A and B are shown apart, each in its own frame.
Chain A
Amino acid sequence: DAGVTQSPTHLIKTRGQQVTLRCSPISGHKSVSWYQQVLGQGPQFIFQYYEKEERGRGNFPDRFSARQFPNYSSELNVNALLLGDSALYLCASRSGSEGSYEQYFGPGTRLTVT
């Protein structure tokens, strides 16, 4: 079975630009979460979506937005990019069933803002 997939793998953008990152969860998983990981830190929670509804949002500015589609894939959008947005963006999926805690991560998208 395929794991969580993310695209693109790497991305270079200029300050002020906008970026869209994509994620496909494990088949059958209905919950998708997004995390940002900067060098030397653990992943930091950005958004959680379940059944196309936002279920949680971390401490990130409104420049960050996301959505989940009927097939449970998800997009993360970041507007007005800043140098500090350079990071590894991770997507994780979870089945969404009550009592199902394990989140499975994709390989990430490495975003560099210049």
Chain B
Amino acid sequence: DQQVKQNSPSLSVQEGRISILNCDYTNSMFDYFLWYKKYPAEGPTFLISISSIKDKNEDGRFTVFLNKSAKHLSLHIVPSQPGDSAVYFCAAYYGGSQGNLIFGKGTKLSVKP
């Protein structure tokens, strides 16, 4: 039973446009969410995070939105660049900062020049 779901296995976007990656979760006890980017043959790289007490967090070209009532979060990348092409994982924390991460299956983003 997947508690963190990324229902789109892949997404293709034109360079310069917005990329929107979506993530749904089922456990209302999750209190912190993170997005990671992963290139082949590398470990996941931390991108941006958001606490469950907020609804938006922004860092440069990356913005994460959290809709607690819908148990949904999204990552917006504006403008998208070819170097953003990677697999993006949504992850949720359960049990506070001493807890552990539960990951979605990932979405492969392709940004075309």
A-B contact count (CB 8 A): 63
For the complex, count residues of B whose C-beta is within 8 A of A: 25
- B89: Cβ under 8 A from any A Cβ: yes
- B82: Cβ under 8 A from any A Cβ: no
From B41, B46, B91, B93, A42 is in contact (CB under 8 Å) with: B91
Least Cβ–Cβ distance between B45 and chain A, in angstroms? 7
Q: How large is the interface on A (under 10, 10 to 19, 20 to 34, 35 or more residues)?
A: 20 to 34
| Chain A residue with the shortest CB-CB distance to B32 | A101
Least Cβ–Cβ distance between B97 and chain A, in angstroms? 5
Contact A44 B103 (CB under 8 A): yes
* Neighbouring B residues of A102 by C-beta, 8 Å: 34, 46, 49
Which residues of B are interface residues toward A (Cβ below 8 A)? 4, 32, 34, 36, 41-46, 49, 89, 91, 93, 95, 97-106
Which residues of A are interface residues toward B (Cβ below 8 A)? 4, 33, 35, 40-45, 48, 50, 55-56, 58, 90, 92, 94, 97-108
